[in-house]
Every structure is written in C-alpha cells, then in structure tokens.
Amino acid sequence: KDRHSSILQHNGGGFMAEKNYVVTITEILKRKVPVKAKNIMDAQYKVECDYHAEKHVLDADDYVETLFKAEVA
C-alpha cells in the first residue's frame, strides 16, 4: 500500500492513526501604485476603484511570500 493512503502510520515502533487536516495556502502579492489625489483617502479610493475595474491586476512579478497553516479538519 502507498504510505499516503494507509490509515495507520508507523511511528517509532508503534502505530498512530492518521487524522484529517486542512492546510490553507496563502500567497501574498503586493504592488505600490503611484496616484495623484486631493488627500490620502481619495488616493486609496481611486486605486481601489481601479483595482476593482481590473486596471491593476497583480501577477507573479508582485509575489512577496507564501504561507502555510495546518489545522485539524
């Protein structure tokens, strides 16, 4: 049997039942967008609107890091 499909896993002389887990993968992308605006709130609003209109589409060039978090299912 494939060790990944086995219900039991060898653990230092004994056997331990496998449990179900969920692993969340989060990729973080980041881009700085220059913008002219009347104030900081206006600047953020303009970029958010452009983002939702798909004028700023982040891609692999904007990659920062990948995070993994495991938890019991």
Q: What contacts 29, CB < 8 A, 6 or more positions away?
A: 58, 59, 62, 63, 64
Q: What is the pTM of this model?
A: 0.68
pLDDT in tens, 18-54: 999 999 999 999 999 999 999 999 999 999 999 999 9
The 3-state DSSP class for residue 56 equals: coil
Distance CA 2, CA 57 (A): 41
